[in-house]
Copies of this chain bind each other. A is one copy, B any other.
Amino acid sequence: MTEPERRSHTPDTAASGIERALALVGGRWKLVILFHLFGGRVQRYSDLERLIPGISQKMLAQQLRQLEADGLVQRTVYPQVPPKVEYRLTEWGQALCPALDALLSWGERQPGGPRASHGRAVRSDT
């Protein structure tokens, strides 16, 4: 049944652990940013701005700051006349990739599509 961490997690600790993890990625633009950084890619602030149409500067900066504070991305500032800042993933950030991959695969395995099955008083006889 592949229950997660049956060895050391109650339903509540497991849930909160995952919520904690999801919170790190929960921003409106975090995933898009991460996916532009996966695979060791390095991007400048302006690159990301260009790669992510529709994002505002406030949002880009904010999400990057949070990703940095949470240890997923590494920020590198070059003290130059026109400022230059690069963003790349940390080891740990890169390690998120397989987990997201699993989630993506699960999502795409979705059968049929969301159906509000009405729960037709079927008795428990299968």
Contacts and interface: CB of A to CB of B under 8 A. Distances in A.
Interface of A: 1-6, 9, 11-12, 14-15, 17-22, 24-26, 31-32, 34-36, 38-40, 51, 68-71, 74-79, 85-86, 91-92, 94-124
Contact of A69 (B40, B79, B86, B114): B114
Contacts of A104: 4-5, 9, 14, 17-18, 21
A61 to B, nearest CB: 13
Nearest to A88: B124
A20 B104 CA distance: 9
Contacts of A105: 99
Nearest to A5: B104
